[in-house]
Chains A and B, each alone.
Chain A
Amino acid sequence: MWRYFVRACCVVAGLLCLAAAQDAFAHRVNVFAYVEGDTVHVECSYSRSDRVRFGEIDVTNAANGQSYLTGKTDEQGNFSFVVPEAARKAKADLRILLRAGEGHQNDWTVKYDEYAAAAPSSPGQPEAAPATSQSHAAVQAVTAVPAPRAQATVAPADAAAMRVLLETTVEAVVEKKIAPIRKILLDEQEKGPGLAEVVGGIGWLVGIAGLVAYVKSRHGKGA
């Protein structure tokens, strides 16, 4: 009995070591999306090393399920799309659904706030910006400043253009700075279950078996 028990323990310990050493899990697909300017980048993976090749992407309005666009991830599991104008107008949160096939599916939601700040135009042509609702808001903000400060903004149109330029520049710099943090977040999300969860799960099983044994033993005495 003891020899059997010791052997069983050795096997479990060996399995645990293997489990801890591996970080590839094909049970769950991960979707991670972030906004850069007016483009949403989506990264899809089974794990850090295993990308979702040619997974189906479906971008919908998170509130009502209206479909905006569909596509497929590339070899690296990446997919990028420009925020659809319809979504911007509807102030919709974008639900990005990944279907990796064979029953694997996951989604990620990009909130409206995340992409609302970025002007839909490319950073190189701020002149085109005033046509958009976002820049309208900027113009309104500038013109709506209280009277004492209004004299500072000599030409509102110039100020608006300046503001747009500044915003895009700051955004680009911040984007660069937070890239490593985003990587950490992504890695964190892709991390599989750790030793604590595994041991905890086994503890649960032993506990359940113990409970059932206890109940059955009382039952046996009563009968």
Chain B
Amino acid sequence: MHISEGVLSGPVLACGWALAAGGVALGLRRVDYDRLMTVAILSAAFFVASLVHVPIGPVSVHLILNGLLGAVLGLAAFPAVCIALLLQAMLFQFGGLVVLGVNTVDMALPAVVCALVFGPLLRAGGKARLVGAFCCGFLAVLGAGLLTALALALSGEAFLTTAKLILLAHVPIMCAEGVLTAMVVGFLAKVRPEMLASSGLAG
């Protein structure tokens, strides 16, 4: 879902940058000394995830992991996503530097919103946490698809067609992300509960 350089119109790009800058600034405040490495590790996971392709039927899709970043990092998902996308743009020419703002918002904003909505579930124990994590993984990808379609629609592409195409292609990955996020959050809750406890959203 990386939008290429030169597709979007000026106002959309500017709006994306403004939102991304706000998100990154807010997110950086949440990153204290103890959580720095968590942010870096998850940023690395996000950076690598889009290179891992899973063939599903005729198409191959890749993991996105934005839901996981939201669930574990909260607002700090913004800087993590932004740096990972910056490196992807510079090293792989995925997306681009001008559209970095929009791409960051597309990926990070739904993740943060999901984390806010399902925060109480995530902090609860047992099955509720797993359900919350699944919803984070599933809905963050859905939101990212909708935002991508919206950004394209504001620049002239037909919203419904694009949204349908993107979402249909990502239905399998939404499920995979949901399961994976639930697994990782469940695992972290057992091994490193403090990583989740300080997910930054509660305070």
Contact = CB atoms under 8 A, between A and B. Distances in A.
Q: Are A and B associated in one complex?
A: yes
Interface of A: 3-4, 8, 12, 15-16, 18-19, 22, 24-29, 50, 99, 101-106, 192-193, 197-198, 200-202, 204-206, 208-209, 212-213, 216-217, 220
B105 interface: no
Contacts of B47: 201-202, 205
Contact of B36 (A106, A213, A220): A213
24 contacts: A15-B48, A15-B49, A18-B52, A22-B51, A25-B92, A27-B95, A50-B60, A101-B165, A102-B165, A103-B151, A104-B7, A106-B4, A192-B92, A193-B92, A197-B91, A201-B48, A202-B47, A202-B48, A205-B43, A205-B84, A206-B44, A209-B36, A209-B37, A212-B31
A134 B44 CA distance: 56
B2 A15 contact: no
Given A16-B48, A101-B157, A205-B43, 18 more contacts: A4-B191, A4-B192, A15-B51, A15-B52, A22-B52, A25-B51, A27-B2, A27-B50, A99-B7, A102-B165, A105-B5, A198-B48, A201-B47, A201-B88, A204-B87, A205-B83, A206-B40, A208-B83
Nearest to A16: B48
Nearest to A8: B41
Contacts of B33: 213, 216-217, 220
B180 to A, nearest CB: 11
A8 B195 CA distance: 14
Contacts of B48: 12, 15-16, 19, 198, 201-202
B148 interface: yes
Interface string B106-129: 000000000000000000000000
Nearest to A107: B6
Nearest to A196: B91
Given A18-B52, A24-B60, A205-B83, A193 B162 contact: no
Among A101, A106, A197, A209, residue most surrounded by chain B Cβ atoms (within 10 Å): A209
A204 B152 CA distance: 31
Contacts of A104: 4, 7
B39 interface: yes
A28 B87 contact: no
A50 B57 CA distance: 13
B179 interface: no
B87 A103 contact: no
A99 B3 CA distance: 11
Among A19, A201, A217, residue most surrounded by chain B Cβ atoms (within 10 Å): A201
A205 B40 contact: yes
B51 A19 contact: yes
A8 B40 CA distance: 13
B86 to A, nearest CB: 9
A204 B2 CA distance: 21
Nearest to A201: B87
Closest 9 CB pairs of A and B: A209-B40, A103-B3, A27-B94, A19-B51, A193-B92, A105-B4, A201-B87, A22-B53, A197-B91
Nearest to A19: B51
A103 B94 contact: no
B166 interface: yes
Contacts of A202: 44, 47-48
Contacts of B94: 25, 27-28
A47 to B, nearest CB: 9
Contacts of B61: 26
Nearest to A22: B53
B93 interface: yes
Contacts of B2: 27-28, 103
Nearest to A17: B52
A26 B60 contact: yes
